[in-house]
C-alpha cells in the first residue's frame, strides 16, 4: 500500500529523475548516432567563426598601387616615399603609363600614381600636382583610397614643415589630381548590382537544388525511379533543367532592374554576361545536387549549402570585402571559389568592357568547376540502394 502511494506520488511529481535520466541517455545516444546533428552542432560553429573572423574585415591593407615616376629626381622620390612606407599600399613600378593602365584593366592594381616629368619644376614654383587614377568600381573603397593617397602625400608636407623648410600654407605644396575609372559617378550601385546577381544565381542554384534529391530520398520516390529504365544521367539532367530556367529568368530580371531602375551601365557584351552567368548557374546547380545526393537529408543539405555556397559567395568572393586586406590563407581559399571569378567577370563586363584575357580566364575556371561538380554528382547518384 505504501509502495503504491509512493509510485502515485512520483507520477504526480513535476519531474521523475529516473525517467529523466533514461530519456537524456536515449537522446544522447541518438545524437551520437546521427552524424548530421554533430556536424551542424560542432562543425558549423567552427566554420562560421573562422570565416567571419578572418574573412570579414573592413580594414584596407596592402592595396596594389602602380607608381609611374617620369620625374626621377630625389625630390620626387622623397614625395613618393609615403606610398612605399605605408602599410596601406603594395607598390609596383611599371615603366610607363600604358603598362600601368594594362595592369588596371587586368585588375592587378587598384590605383596609379603618376608623377610627370616637370614635377620638380612645378614644386620649385610652389604649386606641384600628382595624378592619381583610382579603380572606381567600388565607390566606397575608391573614396578610402583617395584619402589614403592624400595622407601619403601629406606626410611629405608635414615632414618638410617640421624640418622648417616651408612655412605653414593654407594649401599643400603638392596637390592630387584624382580620376575615377569605370565609375565616374562614384555610385555604389554600380558595384552592388553585379554582386547581387551573384547572390541570386547562388540562391537559385545551390540552395534550391540542395533540397531536391534529399527530399526524394526522404520520401522514397528516388527508389521508385531506380526500378524504372531511367539512368542516373537522365535523373540529374531532369533536375537541372527546371532550375536552370528559373535561374535565367532571375538573371533577366536582375539585368533589367540594374539597367533601367538603378542606371548601371553595361559596357561589355550582354551575350558574354549571359554566357558567364550560365556557366556559374551550372556550377551552383551542380553543387546543390552534389550536396543533396551525398547527404540524403534535407536539413543537413540546407545547412551545407549555406556554408559551402551562399556564405562564401557573400563574404569570400570580393563582392563586399576586399581580398587584399585578408590573410593570405583566406585569399588562397577565395581563389578556389567559383563565385570569385563570377564576381570578377560581371564587374568587368558591366563597368569595364570586354577585357578578353580576364573573361576567358574566368569562363575557363567556371567551366572546369562545373564539369568537376557534375562528375562528382554523377558518381554520387547511382542506381544502387544503400
Q: How far apart are CA 302 and CA 289, in angstroms?
A: 11
Determine, yes or no, domain membership for 157: yes
pLDDT over threshold 90, residue 362: yes
pLDDT interval class at 270 (50, 70, 90): very high
pLDDT digits (tens, 9 = 90+) for 105-116: 888 888 899 988
Query: What integer pLDDT is reported at residue 244 of this predicted model?
Result: 87
Residue 236 vs residue 157, higher pLDDT: 236
Determine, yes or no, domain membership for 345: yes
Do 93 and 222 belong to one domain? no
C-alpha cell at 86: 605605408
Q: Which of 162, 181, 200 is the last residue of a domain?
A: 181
Burial-class residue 272 by CB neighbours within 10 Å (0-12, 13-18, 19+). middle
Do 112 and 194 belong to one domain? no
Q: How far apart are CA 42 and CA 44, in angstroms?
A: 6
What's the chain's average pLDDT?
Answer: 80
Do 238 and 164 belong to one domain? no
Give the CATH number of the domain where residue 88 resides. 3.40.1710.10
Do 249 and 308 belong to one domain? yes
3-state DSSP: the chain helix, strand, coil percent, rounded to 5? Answer: 65, 10, 25
Determine, yes or no, domain membership for 44: no
pLDDT digits (tens, 9 = 90+) for 160-187: 766 665 544 444 567 788 888 887 777 7
Residue that has been written with the C-alpha cell 543537413 in this structure: 300
Residue 167 vs residue 228, higher pLDDT: 228
Determine, yes or no, domain membership for 76: yes
Closest by Cα among 192, 342, 225 to 282: 342
What mean pLDDT do residues 355-379 have?
92
What mean pLDDT do residues 262-276 have?
92
Do 349 and 205 belong to one domain? yes
Do 219 and 365 belong to one domain? yes
Helical segments of 186-269, H only: 189-202, 208-209, 212-219, 221-226, 232-256
For the ranges 26-40, 209-223, 245-259, which has the lowest average pLDDT?
A: 26-40
pLDDT digits (tens, 9 = 90+) for 279-322: 999 999 999 988 888 887 888 888 888 888 888 888 888 877 77
Do 121 and 209 belong to one domain? no
Do 300 and 326 belong to one domain? yes
pLDDT interval class at 349 (50, 70, 90): very high
Determine, yes or no, domain membership for 226: yes
Determine, yes or no, domain membership for 323: yes
Query: What integer pLDDT is reported at residue 292 of this predicted model?
Result: 85
Q: Which of 156, 181, 206 is the last residue of a domain?
A: 181
- Return all residues near 255 (Cβ < 8 A) that are at least 6 apart: 197, 266, 270, 273
Do 369 and 278 belong to one domain? yes
Do 151 and 281 belong to one domain? no
pLDDT over threshold 80, residue 54: no
Q: How far apart are CA 174 and CA 144, in angstroms?
A: 19
C-alpha cell at 190: 554600380
Which among 20-34, 47-61, 89-103 has the top mean pLDDT?
89-103
Do 336 and 268 belong to one domain? yes
pLDDT over threshold 70, residue 11: no
pLDDT interval class at 45 (50, 70, 90): low
- Domain of 177 in residue numbering reads as 63-181
Determine, yes or no, domain membership for 37: no
Q: How far apart are CA 63 and CA 75, in angstroms?
A: 24
C-alpha cell at 13: 511529481
Determine, yes or no, domain membership for 81: yes
pLDDT over threshold 60, residue 122: yes
Closest by Cα among 278, 275, 254, 258 to 266: 258
pLDDT digits (tens, 9 = 90+) for 182-226: 877 777 788 888 888 998 888 888 888 887 777 777 777 776 776
Number of domains in the chain: 2
Query: What integer pLDDT is reported at residue 15 of this predicted model?
Result: 62
C-alpha cell at 57: 574585415
Beta strands 128-135 and 111-115 are antiparallel
pLDDT interval class at 274 (50, 70, 90): very high
Query: What integer pLDDT is reported at residue 170 of this predicted model?
Result: 45
Do 209 and 355 belong to one domain? yes
Q: Which of 139, 163, 181 is the last residue of a domain?
A: 181
Amino acid at each position: 500500500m505504501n509502495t503504491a502511494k509512493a509510485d502515485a506520488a512520483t507520477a504526480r511529481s513535476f519531474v521523475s529523475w529516473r525517467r529523466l535520466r533514461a530519456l537524456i541517455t536515449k537522446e544522447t545516444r541518438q545524437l551520437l548516432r546521427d552524424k548530421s546533428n554533430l556536424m551542424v552542432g560542432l562543425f558549423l560553429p567552427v566554420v562560421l567563426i573562422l570565416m567571419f573572423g578572418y574573412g570579414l574585415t573592413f580594414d584596407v591593407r596592402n592595396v596594389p598601387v602602380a607608381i609611374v615616376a617620369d620625374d626621377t629626381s630625389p625630390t620626387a622620390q622623397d614625395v613618393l616615399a609615403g606610398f612605399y612606407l605605408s602599410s596601406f599600399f603594395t607598390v609596383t613600378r611599371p615603366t610607363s603609363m600604358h603598362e600601368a593602365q594594362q595592369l588596371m584593366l587586368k585588375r592587378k592594381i587598384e590605383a596609379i600614381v603618376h608623377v610627370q616629368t616637370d614635377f620638380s619644376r612645378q614644386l620649385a614654383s610652389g604649386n606641384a600636382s600628382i595624378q592619381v587614377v583610382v579603380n572606381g568600381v567600388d565607390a566606397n573603397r575608391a573614396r578610402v583610397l583617395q584619402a589614403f593617397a592624400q595622407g601619403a602625400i601629406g606626410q611629405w608636407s608635414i615632414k618638410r614643415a617640421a624640418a622648417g623648410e616651408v612655412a605653414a600654407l593654407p594649401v599643400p605644396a603638392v596637390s592630387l589630381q584624382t580620376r575615377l575609372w569605370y565609375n565616374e559617378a562614384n555610385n555604389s550601385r554600380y558595384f552592388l548590382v553585379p554582386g547581387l546577381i551573384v547572390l541570386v544565381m547562388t540562391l537559385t542554384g545551390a540552395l534550391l537544388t540542395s533540397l531536391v534529391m534529399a527530399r526524394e530520398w526522404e520520401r522514397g520516390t528516388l527508389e521508385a525511379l531506380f526500378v524504372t529504365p531511367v539512368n542516373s544521367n537522365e535523373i540529374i539532367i531532369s533536375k537541372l533543367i527546371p532550375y536552370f530556367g528559373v535561374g535565367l529568368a532571375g538573371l533577366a530580371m536582375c539585368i533589367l532592374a540594374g539597367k533601367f531602375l538603378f542606371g548601371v551601365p553595361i559596357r561589355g557584351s550582354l551575350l558574354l554576361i549571359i554566357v558567364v552567368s550560365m556557366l556559374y548557374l551550372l556550377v551552383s546547380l551542380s553543387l546543390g545536387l552534389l550536396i543533396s545526393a551525398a547527404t540524403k537529408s534535407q536539413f543537413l543539405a540546407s545547412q551545407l549549402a549555406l556554408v559551402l555556397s551562399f556564405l562564401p559567395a557573400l563574404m569570400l568572393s570580393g563582392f563586399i570585402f576586399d581580398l587584399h586586406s585578408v590573410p593570405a590563407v583566406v585569399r588562397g581559399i577565395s581563389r578556389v571559389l567559383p563565385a570569385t571569378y563570377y564576381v570578377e567577370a560581371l564587374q568587368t563586363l558591366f563597368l569595364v568592357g570586354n577585357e578578353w584575357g580576364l573573361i576567358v580566364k574566368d569562363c575557363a575556371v567556371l567551366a572546369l568547376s562545373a564539369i568537376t561538380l557534375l562528375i562528382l554528382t554523377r558518381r554520387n547518384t547511382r542506381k544502387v540502394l544503400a
